[in-house]
Chain A
């Protein structure tokens, strides 16, 4: 019988939107806008938790059809082997195509030079931007979140980049309602950040809700590490430790994954998603403050890299 006079919120068969549902719907809307408006979008996929969530949203946005995008990874040459294995598993499982821009190839060719401090994070910009130009990508999805860092807090969801991939915060387009303006001239492209409004905790709660598999280094495990600038770095062929940096085996996990030379592990006994969520909820350190050396170089380290075309 359908002659019900009044339908109450509780009995109309609709469950309340949780904050994760609302974030998911907003992000999927952004992903679909890009599919509708651009010719050659690509998803930056590193095998880190943010890009994993971004890929999950893309998979859900077009189901039961395939994701109409390819993936791009900037391989620093110092990535964690567990994460590269995860990347390749994921690409194969979903029948996707992966482009790789290799920092090592640029170093071998003499186009880029190794920095004295050994970090390869700033070296990623050139291979990334050249790959974007070579493949004529016109929309590049990044997993950046505004809660990560104060320069990122200024980032639009659709961020227009010139032919040199440069970001100019003074010349950003106003972003009104949910009307994303992706118009661009040939050679320009748009960086798109569908996870802009997510926090680190949202990401973990969503991973738990959706039961998404992650690279194992996100969970506590024993690892040979050494201390540099107050962070636990993984010993390895990338160049650490130096003399006078003794290694030790500790129970650690990673809050973020990136280049081994500048991504620190945190002491942790969190071996499950629930334990990780509890740990993050209680933490008094930000994700990047705890684990990223390159952001500490100066007050404007991220802003400067973003201006040059970094993601």
Chain B
């Protein structure tokens, strides 16, 4: 008996590419729609057949305008796997929501209208998936029924998309020709495209390897909270609560606590009440140490060798997600794991031109939906990994100290 695992995936596509229809078809044909939901959709549909897009557009304004405004999360399962789907909007105004969906995804489906091919938004979605290092990318070429199911149309789009994505360092791309409206190659194989012998979307989602951080690496445990019962039963208990965001932690291991740099030995690990010899990501645990050293929320417990270097200057790739711009010299808050420190935007070396992937130097500011590079200087040292090595300890937010707005999603670059 194999364990059922969970695949988190995100969908992205331009307006009117049929993304909501694809998601609706996926849910409907995998029998994940229950009777009362289908009845509600049928009641709300204009025509005789249920409008599957109505399954996902949950907000009043979305139904009125026929567009998806915000990320919706859907849950379904096959006998082999559970799925968490972040259904993200395609409209350029809401690109930040695709960043939201992609940041936790194991796989991204980028939808393209076969009649239009690769457009500006396709490039944006490919860039977001690549920069956020979503491990798998699926190119779904939709509306194949409207181009006569021609292989040549499909092949040309695949070639253009693959060439573009490769330059961004995107991982392997799986391209699938579909008609979401008619159900070709979504759950059921198409009878119209015998030139295609690959998997359907659902087959691919079910069989693709769910990537997780390598477990044998040294652990990273950002301290969230210090547990001190101070009761008669536990007068001296001092436990450090946190999630193992990467690697494996073992009892008896030497650990270093950053940014202070003190070392100690793990005397116990509690997996939510149960003592264990070892625990791996993404477990939430409580760690007990031999030495009584000063540890607080925001500290990072790391095991073994290869602790991240402490730095006060970080180069990062950023997706700007706020309506107000980010400018050089701006004072911000930097939130990295459980630690929030003051910071200043020291430089914006470049902004990415998504059309030809050139770098526009020194743009001075980044505006909503821009992708670029920034250098920030922090008031206190921060222990960061490269995003390529660890999504959890290699990512951070820039926040407006005035009102708490999230300015930018940032990924630490490799070489500093």
Contacts and interface: CB of A to CB of B under 8 A. Distances in A.
A154 B279 contact: no
B36 A285 contact: yes
Contact of A62 (B34, B71, B241): B241
Contact of B73 (A14, A65, A196): A196
A16 B3 contact: yes
Contacts of B70: 154, 169-170, 172
Given A19-B5, A29-B243, A66-B229, A286 B36 contact: yes
Interface residues of A, number: 62
Interface string B378-416: 000000000000011001110100011110010000000
Contacts of B237: 64-65
Interface stretch (B53-61, B116-124, B134-142, B174-182): B53-61
A170 B69 contact: yes
A24 to B, nearest CB: 7
B335 A179 contact: yes
B338 interface: yes
A177 B224 contact: no
B293 interface: no
B409 A21 contact: no
Contacts of A25: 243, 282-284
B364 to A, nearest CB: 23
Contacts of A4: none
A196 to B, nearest CB: 7
Contacts of B60: 299-300, 303-304
Nearest to A198: B75
B225 A35 contact: yes
Contacts of A176: 99-100, 103, 321, 395, 397, 406, 409
Contacts of A12: 248, 278
A209 B5 CA distance: 18
B242 A32 contact: yes
Given A32-B242, A289-B34, A154 B59 contact: yes
Interface string A12-31: 11101111011011101100
A179 B36 contact: no
A290 interface: yes
A16 B2 CA distance: 11
B75 A285 contact: no
A164 B82 CA distance: 37
B74 interface: yes
A233 to B, nearest CB: 18
Contact of A289 (B37, B44, B273, B403): B37
Contact of A24 (B37, B69, B233, B272): B272
Given A12-B278, A286-B34, A36 B297 contact: yes
Contacts of A21: 283
Given A153-B73, A179-B397, A60 B272 contact: yes
Contacts of A28: 243, 272, 284
A306 B361 CA distance: 44
B395 A179 contact: yes
Given A19-B82, A36-B297, A154-B58, A13 B36 contact: no
A22 B224 contact: no
A interface: dominant SS: loop
B40 interface: yes
Given A32-B224, A32-B242, A65-B229, A24 B284 contact: yes
Given A32-B242, A197-B84, A283 B278 contact: no
Nearest to A2: B252
A151 interface: yes
Interface size class of B (residues with CB under 8 A): 35 or more
Contacts of B225: 32, 35-36, 62
A134 interface: no
A150 interface: yes
Interface stretch (A43-51, A108-116, A122-130, A180-188): A180-188
Contacts of A18: 3
Interface string B269-298: 010110001111011100000000000010
A61 B284 contact: yes
A255 interface: no
Nearest to B87: A153
Nearest to B5: A19
A3 interface: no
Contacts of B6: 19, 22
Given A14-B248, A176-B99, A181 B282 contact: no
A175 interface: yes
Interface in A159-216: 160, 169-170, 172-179, 181, 183-185, 196-197, 199
B188 to A, nearest CB: 21
A267 B254 CA distance: 58
A154 B71 contact: yes
Contact of A33 (B84, B338, B391): B338
B284 to A, nearest CB: 4
15 contacts: A9-B215, A14-B278, A19-B5, A24-B272, A32-B284, A61-B241, A64-B231, A146-B74, A153-B73, A170-B61, A170-B69, A176-B103, A183-B333, A197-B73, A289-B40
In the A-B complex, the 6 residue pairs with the smallest Cβ-Cβ separation, listed nearest first, are A183-B404, A289-B36, A150-B58, A65-B229, A28-B284, A32-B224
Given A28-B243, A32-B225, A176-B409, 20 more contacts: A14-B278, A14-B280, A19-B4, A22-B6, A25-B243, A36-B224, A36-B297, A60-B272, A63-B272, A146-B74, A147-B75, A170-B69, A174-B409, A179-B335, A179-B395, A183-B403, A284-B34, A284-B35, A289-B40, A299-B40
